Amino acid sequence: MWETHYGSPKSRKSRSKRGMRRAHDSLSKSTISTDETTGERHLRHHVTADGFYRGKKVWKLRRNRVGLTDSIQIAVDSMGGDYGPAITVPAACDAVNSYRNLKISLYGNVHAIENALIDEGFALTDRISIVECSSEVKNTDKPSEVIKHKSDSSLCKSIKDLADGNVDGCVSAGSTAALLMQGIRLIDTVPGIKRPAICATAPTYHGKVSLLDLGANVECNAQMLHQFAVIATMKCRVLNGIDEPIVKLLNIGEEKIRVLQN
C-alpha cells in the first residue's frame, strides 16, 4: 500500500518579521579583551601580538622578519574613504589594541578626529596621535590639482612624511589616482618597476594568497604583468616570510564582451 506524505505548508510572515531575521547581520563594535598573562588588550578571540591566546603561548615570533617585534609608526589618512574618520579612526583604535608594537598618527581635521576618538572611548597617547591638516582630497579631485593646491591635505602630508622617513608606512582609502601619483612623485618605485600595483591578501585552504593588481592600472601589458610578479615576490619574501613564492597568472577569459567600456 502506497502512502503519500505532504510537507506542512510554510507559514507566511509579515515584512517586519522577515526583516528581523536579518538582525544578526548588523554591525557592532569590536569586543576588547585583556590577556591574563601579558595584560595586553586585544580583539576578543584574537592572538595577541606577543603570540598569546587565553594566557597560553600559541606561536613563536620570528624576530628576523619586518614588523613583528620592532616599534612601527604608521601614518593614516583619516579623511580618506567614503566615510572618513567615522571608519578610519575606529579601525586605527582596533589596530593599536591588537598590536603592542604599533604606533599610529592620524592625519586630518583635528576636531573630526577627536570626536571619533571620544566615540571610541580613546584618548591621545604616545601610541596614537593627531597630525593636523588643512584640507582633504576628494574622489572628484584631479590628481594634478591635488599635487598643486592640496599639498597640506591628509593624503599628501602622510605620504610626504613617509618619504621623509618620519613614519614607517602609510595607509589611505582616498583617491587611488592621487595616492599613486603622489607616491610615485615623492617615493618613486624600486629599480626596474615603472608602475606600482595595489595588492591584497586573501585566505585560502592552504594559507594565504596575494592578489595584484587590484585597480591601480586599467590596462596592463606583458611587461607590466612581469613587474607585478616581481613586486608580489618581494612582498611575500619580506612581509610573509616566504622565500620562494609561487607566481600564477589570473586571466578573466577571452570572451568578446570582456572589453573596456569607453
Domain topology for 65-188: Isopropylmalate Dehydrogenase (3.40.718)
Secondary element (H or E) of residue 186: helix 176-186
Among residues of the chain, what percentage have pLDDT more than 90?
Answer: 26
Residue type, 172: S
| CA-based nearest residue to 180, from 166, 197, 164, 194 | 197
The stretch 206-230 carries a mean pLDDT of 85
Q: What pLDDT score does 41 carry?
A: 61
More confident residue, 49 or 215: 215
| Percent of residues in the chain assigned helix, strand, coil, to nearest 5 | 30, 15, 55
User: pLDDT for 5-37, tens place per residue?
Assistant: 455 555 566 655 555 554 444 445 545 667 666
User: Where are the domains positioned within the chain?
Assistant: 30-60, 65-188, 193-252
What is the overall mean pLDDT for the chain? 79
Per-residue cell: 202: 586573501
